[in-house]
Amino acid sequence: MKKIILVAAMVLGFAVAASAQPRALGVRIGNGGEISYQHQLGANFLEVDGGLGLGFDGVFNVGATGIYNFMIAQPQWTSRGEWGFYAGPGASVGLGLGEANYFTLGAAGMVGLEYTFWFPLQLSLDFRQHVGLGFGNGLWFPSSIGLGVRYRF
């Protein structure tokens, strides 16, 4: 009985800790559209994006990127809301579907600026660079500038 109570207390504690962390869900528009999810981890955050796009070579792309962003600075430019300047490394995976099908696997880096309003809306502008190997098309170096719009909860 003591073990059941202990396990239940631990599960409840983990659930409370996870729900106390701010999260954001929305879209990132760059070279295509992506569903974007952010999860706050202390001062830093994890961003996971997945979506569809059309490459410059006319190939339809499906991919996902996960980036651990370090909050570099939070300037107090306004009396309401929060600014944040961030950068971080991550990984990406994708598929190119067209005349030449290929699979990509690589590293990603991102730098950006975000503003979280005093109501639950977050806007961000970022630059993301990928470096990887495209199995079927050689080395892969795409980059994008993205605008993110997320609901923060």
* CA dist list (Å): 41 to 22, 53, 70, 72, 135: 9, 29, 10, 14, 33
Give the residue extent of every domain in the chain.
22-152
Do residues 132 and 140 touch, judged by C-beta distance below 8 A?
Answer: yes
First to last CA, the chain: 36
- For residue 114, pLDDT over 60 is answered with yes
- For residue 30, pLDDT over 80 is answered with yes
pLDDT tens column, 119-152? 999 999 999 999 999 887 788 888 899 999 999 9
- For residue 45, pLDDT over 70 is answered with yes
3-state helix, strand, coil in the chain (%, to 5): 10, 65, 20
- Class for domain 22-152, per CATH? mainly beta
pLDDT tens column, 54-101? 766 677 889 999 999 999 999 999 989 999 999 999 999 999 887 778
Q: Rounded to 10 degrees, what is the CA torsion of 24, 65, 62, 27?
A: 20
**Cβ-Cβ contacts under 8 Å for 3 (sequence gap 6 or more):** none
* CA dist list (Å): 23 to 37, 116, 126, 151: 7, 12, 18, 8
